[in-house]
Amino acid sequence: MALDRVNHRMFVPEPGNIRILVYQLDEKGQHVRHTADHVIGHRSVVGRRRQSATNRTDGAGGAETGLAVDNIYQRLFVRDRNRILVFNVHPDDMQDYPEATHVIGQPDFETMTSGAGQRQFSGSEIIVDEDTQRLFVEDGSRILVFDIDPTRLVDFPNAKIVIGQPDFKSREQGLGPNRLTRAHGIALDPDEHRLFVSDQNNNRILVFDIHPDRLSNDPHAVAVLGQPDFYTNTPRFSGARARPANRFGVRSITPGGLDYDRLHKRLFVSQLPDNRILVFEAAPDKLQDNLEAFVVVGQPDFTTFDPVVSQTRFAFPKDPSVDSEKQMLYVSEGFPGGNRVMAFDIRPEVLRSGLAALDVIGHVDDAGRDDFNRRMANDRLDARTTTMARAVALDA
């Protein structure tokens, strides 16, 4: 999901319905209404079918985590398979089923082809550095950096910088201070000009200096988290997938979905298979290879990993989203989890393991109140509802 900190809005992608819902939040960061105010990618909030055409209004699907808001110029960047669509989401201009203003990764709005090089990609995660007007796009074994200043942005632009590869043509996976295997999860520290990158198959998180005056092609990371050096990739954590007696490193940092709290310099890392989010001290002077979490969200303690739908537990949490100004953490859970977004107060004096959510979007009880225990898209699974139906058989 993505947050508009200026106008207090939340953009929630629904890849199964090929759309993005827009919710109004109050000044505390909690939802104003249970229903979305606007929809992007469909003509109405009740639309579910994928449109047949590839164009500037209809999504092709795949924006599960690939959303980013430019709060300065009120633009929404949406990763839509092999392209990124750019929308004007200023409140004065916002409407259902809007047209994109620009496309990145494709020559026009009607084309959807795979590719690589300096202009094309097939990644998922994106993040905007508002202060420098740069867009960072995760693309497997590399990160592409685009100039998105509105006075210079054009359709099908060239990336300015590549991270993780020696040039724009290379796609080799590797190990070292300047190589990646499969990047998944990126977070920005705009004050210290740091980019955190989850390197999944190398079991680590790399930290890059992305100051505009220092960043160039093929940079070396300035720090590695989760490994003793840049050339080691041995797993240092085993959780839900192991027998209890064989688990280890239950507080260790691992690659996953990321977000950064710039106010208190904390890194939030999701562990989807382990049904939790870990919180780490991430100030420059606190970073070390064997970084350990001081809080776990979504579980009562560091040794519990069971998926549970409740006010204090997670079932397959997606990437975290942090609003540093409001000190709120938002976590989405899709199928087969809670099909919801939960909001947590993460002020230092409140944050603790087993923290209860303040707010939930996606479920209400029969009286119209927030319901933290329901999990199905139609409120419940019973004799009248189905989920993920695949086929039918007839008795003639």
For 26-41, the pLDDT digits (tens) are 999 999 999 999 999 8
The answer to whether the beta carbons of residues 161 and 145 sit under 8 Å apart is yes
The answer to whether the beta carbons of residues 341 and 331 sit under 8 Å apart is yes
Q: How far apart are CA 319 and CA 308, in angstroms?
A: 17
What pLDDT was estimated at residue 388?
Answer: 55
Find residue 285's DSSP bridge partners.
none
What pLDDT was estimated at residue 136?
Answer: 98
C-alpha R_g of the chain: 21
Mean pLDDT of all residues in the chain? 91
Count of all residues that appear for the chain in the document: 396
Place of tokens 């859970």: 333
Q: What are phi and psi of 277, to 5 degrees?
A: -125, 130
Closest CA to 165 of 110, 214, 118, 123: 118
Report pLDDT digits (tens) over 328-379.
999 999 777 778 999 999 999 999 999 999 999 988 888 888 999 987 755 5
> Across residues 114-129, what is the average pLDDT?
93
What pLDDT was estimated at residue 384?
Answer: 44
Instruction: Please state which of the ranges 28-32, 48-52, 56-60, 188-192 shows the lowest mean pLDDT.
Output: 48-52
Place of tokens 């953009």: 11
> Across residues 197-215, what is the average pLDDT?
97
Quickly state the pLDDT bin for 190 (edges 50, 70, 90). Answer: very high
- Inform me whether the pLDDT recorded for 272 exceeds 60: yes
Find residue 87's DSSP bridge partners.
76
The answer to whether the beta carbons of residues 267 and 279 sit under 8 Å apart is yes
DSSP structure class, residue 20? E
> Across residues 87-107, what is the average pLDDT?
96
Q: What is the DSSP string of 33-78?
A: -SS-SEEESSSSTT--SPPSS-SSS---S--SS-EEEETTTTEEEE
Place of tokens 């979905």: 257
Q: How far apart are CA 369 and CA 286, in angstroms?
A: 42
> Across residues 100-104, what is the average pLDDT?
97
